Chains A and B, each alone.
Chain A
């Protein structure tokens, strides 16, 4: 089946620094990838839709200048959390949509801002 690799799985950063999270589709091309945020014991909340070769589409309430998304190729989307603050600490998950297998999710990134 389709595999999505997300890296890193865990990251701890200092307040004010930026963190980049990568999402790769390993055996298929994905023109569209999705970024979710998940708070403890809650469901996934869609943050933005990443479109290859064009600007990302952000959900209402998500700051596009804080959560920079780049989808430069058909197999890679990146999410950069800029000037991170403790309230940005969360579990971030990406997914990609494949015509055959539907949505496949990465294993998530646990971000802790100290």
Chain B
């Protein structure tokens, strides 16, 4: 089993729909990052959350860090075709030298 379980693995929706991606673990993270990756490119950082219960918004994207800092969610409102891509959560643990551990990724396709 992965340290960070990300769900769903795949999501295909119509333009305008809302969606939520989840990232869960039994471990506590000092910080959690969300990335978006396009084919043939490296991941691009969307947000970093560090405080339990923290909520951050980036336009139509809302990120939440669980109170216990073990889980996180990404909610997209009114998805657009430009949101299509691979979304990755990654957590850093102090007792692991704050190295990043990635979730399995969520492949999102938004159809026009």
Task: State the A residues within 8 Å of B (CB).
Answer: 4, 6, 9, 34, 41-46, 49, 91, 93, 95, 102-108, 110
Contacts and interface: CB of A to CB of B under 8 A. Distances in A.
Contacts of A91: 40
B41 A108 contact: yes
A108 B40 contact: yes
B44 interface: yes
B45 A43 contact: no
Task: Give the secondary structure class of A's interface.
Answer: strand
Nearest to A40: B39
A49 B103 CA distance: 18
Contacts of A95: 42, 100
Interface residues of B, number: 21
A33 to B, nearest CB: 12
B102 A44 contact: yes
17 contacts: A4-B42, A34-B99, A43-B102, A43-B105, A44-B43, A46-B99, A46-B102, A95-B42, A102-B31, A103-B45, A103-B100, A104-B45, A105-B43, A105-B44, A105-B45, A108-B40, A110-B40
Interface centre among A9, A43, A44, A46 (most CB of B within 10 A): A43
Contacts of A4: 42
B43 A93 contact: yes
B40 A43 contact: no
Top 5 A-B pairs ranked by shortest CB distance?
Answer: A105-B42, A43-B105, A107-B42, A43-B102, A108-B42
Given A41-B107, A44-B88, A107 B102 contact: no
Contacts of A49: 99
Nearest to A41: B107
B24 to A, nearest CB: 15
